[in-house]
Amino acid sequence: MSNRKGIAARLRRLTDRTASVDLTRYTKLLPAIGEREADLRKLSDEELGAAAQHLRESVDDKGWLTDMCALGREAADRAIGERPFDVQLLGAMGVLSGHVVQMATGEGKTLVGAIAAAGYALRGNHVHVVSVNDYLARRDAEWMRPVYDLLGVTVGFVEESSTHDERRAAYECEVTYGAVSEIGFDVLRDRLVVVPGDEVAPHPEVAIIDEADSVLIDEARVPLVLAGSVDPGVAHVEIANIVRRLRPGQHYELDPDRRNVWLTPLGESEVETALGGVNLYDDSGSDRLASVNLALHAEALLTRDVDYLVRNGAVQLINQSRGRVAVLQRWPDGLQAAVEAKEQLPPSDSGEILDSSTVQALIARYPTVAGMTGTAVAVADTLREFYELEVAVIPTDQENIRIDEPDRIFTTTEKKLAAIVAEIERVHADGRPILIGTQDVAESEALAELLLQAGLKAAVLNARNDAEEAKIIAEAGAPSAITVSTQMAGRGTDIKLGGHTGAGPEYDDVVSRGGLYVIGTARYQSSRLDDQLRGRAGRQGDPGGSVFFASLEDELVLMGAPDVPKGVVADEDGEVSDRRVPPHVDHAQRVLEGVNLEIHRNTWRYTRLIERQRDDLLEFRDAALNGDAAAELMRAEAADHYAKLEKELEDGSLEQICREILLFQVDRMWADHLAFLADVRDSIHLRALGKETPIDEFHRAAIPEFHKIVDEAKAQAVQTFSELQVTDGKVDLEAAGVLKPSSTWTYMVHDNPFDASVGHALAGMRSALRKRFGRR
């Protein structure tokens, strides 16, 4: 009998691959953990800490996992007054076993991550708890610090404003919290240091990914790109003013997914006339053509309060997957200056790409990876494909009683908005708190204005005021509260019924009215994002409800499935009841999910070679940074000049001078290599039209060029060294051309140059022409 049960269990795992981790071996440990509780409660704080330290010496003991969870439960109860439920301990065990655990919103993932991180630290590992933004990194590190302190584990965090010394101190802790972008850019910056020991990020050991699907799937489509200033920016205000007068469909056209824009013959003629009769397509007009195309992209494809904000006299980009301002990010290739000209702002410095990486490559550096999220099952296959991670579904502590209503679908956006306002008025009249999830900043503010006109005041949470997030969310569950928010995914903050206390008469009042009511103003491009918004209601067994509104004019439908079923009719309010329409909206969403998956897959397919090349070059660079390879090179290739400089320099700095020259040339050659590969990638579709395999052609171009880097860097370094002169006992490296960027920043890049379809091939041809005409 037992054998048949075992076979059945294995069959279930084979057929249900989306959640293949069996929790049985963890649930069997729960009674033993419970039995230890009474004894641990008797210990003083010092004795509890000593018991935790004893775990450092007993990592291989059979009962280690039981002891760790028992100590973590007691430490959490004492330190922050939160005793982990059994399901939270199951989550911690899943993370400690290297899985991605799926836990519903409000089930306490932050505490699960802290217990698991402390466990890994007590095993002797440095742990990075990777989040989607700075706010969560700081909040969670400070919130969980008392737990870590009781267990004798050091904790720190990095954020955008952290100084070099603060970053180093944070990474020296056993557990470091940080946004994926911050940790990634620290890795990139470390690859540019020229003084031994200046690196801040240690060799990676364990990564625990909070909101794992957001970080590993959504963020993975956006490469991490570090740039450095090279020249003052140039404002093309005249061209921006000309482009502003052009009209879509008449002077320029856009492809259906709004990723590319190009001038029509009439538009070309209009621009050439406005510029004084130039020919954009001969040698005299090529520079103007590049500027026109950038201005056209800024005007037609980038929208204020959707893609960026203008705040404090500067353009600030909005990270679409987070709904937050990306303060130190810019667009590349002159696009930043084009947007600044569009908004009549002074241009920022132009830059060149110094290095880049991907989230997938960053995570691959860690020998051990685990994570937590509320929506992992939907991307279980993707997590397995790209990260070799399995999903463990953790049951809720209390049954979910939230009521999810069917989508309400309308013919037009205008009809949909009117219905949303009417629904908010209806629910608000009952005193029930409402959370409305919108697509972007512009929509959130427009809806808040519509509500104000209807006599309803709403709190607005978006990229313009995300610093007030904690305060707004704290009261979003209060009686009669109306909260309008952009992207809720990754906000990591529970909405407590009744307000910030989550208890008392206000809690009882909201419960009696049905709990939090969530309204989505449109379906997102991923069902996971829909579920994350819905999950803000019905936490920990609370009542709640949700409904999504949609229209046949929504961007999701227009991009994913614009061919609406024929014969669809609506009532007088514009609402559609045709049974064919909801599946059509679902289909549109699946199409865009597929597109985004292919973007991720293609990004990794083409960057995998670049990552291998970088690793090879880093071996050479690290040897030059931490050894005397540079000085040996100069002694061998420029012996006389080396001896001369050694006599003239009295401070013994010659070895470091050699090191900086060689590293500068290596880094410059790598930056040039990345620029070359970018040009190859932009024209890769031309190879596809020639019946060649793009990835093979990419490799054929990339590999020989890479093998030239070290030899050319050495040759250039020797030449630069041979021309050095000593003045007043010092060498001026900047005068010798060894220039460091005066500042660095990160680029906001959406990487999808490899779609093999004919439509995207033609778009790639246009892109290639723009790049060719625009090169300096």
pLDDT in tens, 553-567: 999 999 899 888 888
Higher pLDDT, 560 or 256: 560
> Distance (Å, rounded) from C-alpha 657 to C-alpha 731?
8
Average pLDDT, the chain: 85
Residue range 15-222+360-393 in CATH 3.40.50.300: yes
State which H helix or E strand residue 434 sits in.
strand 434-437
Does 106 carry a binding-site annotation? yes
pLDDT value of position 353: 79
pLDDT value of position 165: 94
Contact 350, 337 (CB under 8 A): yes
Token reading at 338: 């084009």
> Distance (Å, rounded) from C-alpha 123 to C-alpha 109?
21
Contact 386, 216 (CB under 8 A): yes
pLDDT at position 475 over 70: yes
Residue range 233-348 in CATH 3.90.1440.10: yes
Q: Is 629 exposed, middle or buried (0-12, 13-18, 19+ CB in 10 A)?
A: middle
> Distance (Å, rounded) from C-alpha 130 to C-alpha 146?
19
pLDDT value of position 30: 96
Token reading at 369: 């990876």
pLDDT at position 14 over 90: no
Strand duo 175-179 + 155-157: pairing? parallel
Give the residue-averaged pLDDT of 731-744.
80
Query: Do 15-222+360-393 and 606-748 have matching folds?
Result: no
State which H helix or E strand residue 332 sits in.
none
pLDDT at position 494 over 80: no
Higher pLDDT, 14 or 509: 509
Token reading at 23: 């929790």
Give which of 109, 132, 113 is closest to 121, Cα–Cα.
Answer: 113
pLDDT at position 510 over 90: yes
Which residues in 491-521 are b (16+ Cβ under 10 Å) and which e? bbbbbbbbbeebeeebbebbeebbbbbbbbb
Which residues in 331-349 are b (16+ Cβ under 10 Å) and which e? bbbbbbbbbbbbeebebbb
* DSSP secondary structure letters along 615-631: HHHHHHHHHHHHSSHHH
pLDDT-derived band at 128, boundaries 50, 70, 90: very high
Roughly how many angstroms between the first and final C-alpha of the chain, as a whole number?
Answer: 76
In one-letter notation, the amino acid at residue 730 is K
Give per-residue pLDDT as tens, 607-633.
Answer: 889 999 999 999 999 999 999 999 999
pLDDT value of position 745: 64
Give the residue-averaged pLDDT of 391-406.
93
Using alpha carbons only, what angle is made at residue 691 by residues 687 and 697, rounded to the nearest 5 degrees? 40
Helix (H, G, I), strand (E, B) or coil at 572: coil
> Distance (Å, rounded) from C-alpha 183 to C-alpha 175?
13
What are the φ and ψ backbone dihedral angles of 57, each rounded to 5 degrees?
A: -95, -5
Does 469 carry a binding-site annotation? no
Higher pLDDT, 328 or 604: 604
Give per-residue pLDDT as tens, 534-546.
Answer: 988 998 889 999 9
pLDDT at position 726 over 80: yes
Sequence-ordered list of residues with C-beta below 8 angstroms from that of 162, at least 6 positions apart, any chain: 170, 182
Contact 383, 14 (CB under 8 A): no
* DSSP secondary structure letters along 118-176: HHHHHTT--EEEEESSHHHHHHHHHHHHHHHHHHT--EEE--TT--HHHHHHHHHSSEE
Sequence-ordered list of residues with C-beta below 8 angstroms from that of 318, at least 6 positions apart, any chain: 306, 307, 308, 309, 324, 325, 326, 440, 441, 463
pLDDT value of position 567: 87
> Distance (Å, rounded) from C-alpha 450 to C-alpha 446?
6
Give the residue-averaged pLDDT of 719-725.
94
Does 108 carry a binding-site annotation? yes
**What percent of the chain stands above pLDDT 70?**
86
Sequence-ordered list of residues with C-beta below 8 angstroms from that of 228, at least 6 positions apart, any chain: 351, 352, 354, 740, 741, 742, 743, 744
Give the residue-averaged pLDDT of 257-276.
84
Give the residue-averaged pLDDT of 135-152.
95
> Distance (Å, rounded) from C-alpha 526 to C-alpha 592?
7
pLDDT-derived band at 314, boundaries 50, 70, 90: confident
In one-letter notation, the amino acid at residue 760 is H
- pTM across the whole model: 0.81
In one-letter notation, the amino acid at residue 330 is R
> Distance (Å, rounded) from C-alpha 752 to C-alpha 492?
29
Give the residue-averaged pLDDT of 195-217.
92
pLDDT at position 706 over 90: yes
> Distance (Å, rounded) from C-alpha 166 to C-alpha 159?
9
Q: Tokens 């979910």 appear where?
A: 400
pLDDT at position 20 over 80: no
Token reading at 574: 């514009």
pLDDT value of position 325: 65
Domain made up of 606-748: CATH architecture: Orthogonal Bundle (1.10)
Give the residue-averaged pLDDT of 752-775.
34
pLDDT-derived band at 501, boundaries 50, 70, 90: confident
Give which of 485, 487, 386, 374 is closest to 436, Cα–Cα.
Answer: 485
Give which of 716, 710, 715, 706 is closest to 620, Cα–Cα.
Answer: 710
pLDDT at position 17 over 50: no
What are the φ and ψ backbone dihedral angles of 49, each rounded to 5 degrees?
A: -65, -40
Give the residue-averaged pLDDT of 726-733.
87
pLDDT value of position 160: 86
> Distance (Å, rounded) from C-alpha 291 to C-alpha 334?
8
pLDDT at position 753 over 50: no
Does 42 carry a binding-site annotation? no
> Distance (Å, rounded) from C-alpha 520 to C-alpha 515?
16
pLDDT value of position 755: 36
Q: In angstroms, what CA-CA distances link 393 with 16, 66, 129, 494, 660?
A: 12, 20, 20, 20, 51
Domain made up of 403-578: CATH architecture: 3-Layer(aba) Sandwich (3.40)
Q: Tokens 């990345």 appear where?
A: 674
Does 494 carry a binding-site annotation? yes
Does 113 carry a binding-site annotation? no
Q: Is 232 exposed, middle or buried (0-12, 13-18, 19+ CB in 10 A)?
A: exposed
Helix (H, G, I), strand (E, B) or coil at 408: strand
pLDDT value of position 11: 38
Token reading at 104: 């519903």
pLDDT at position 722 over 80: yes
Domain ranges of the chain: 15-222+360-393, 233-348, 403-578, 606-748
Give which of 96, 111, 118, 97 is closest to 52, Cα–Cα.
Answer: 118
Does 18 carry a binding-site annotation? no
Q: Looking at 41-55, 136-150, 527-541, which range is the least confident one?
A: 527-541
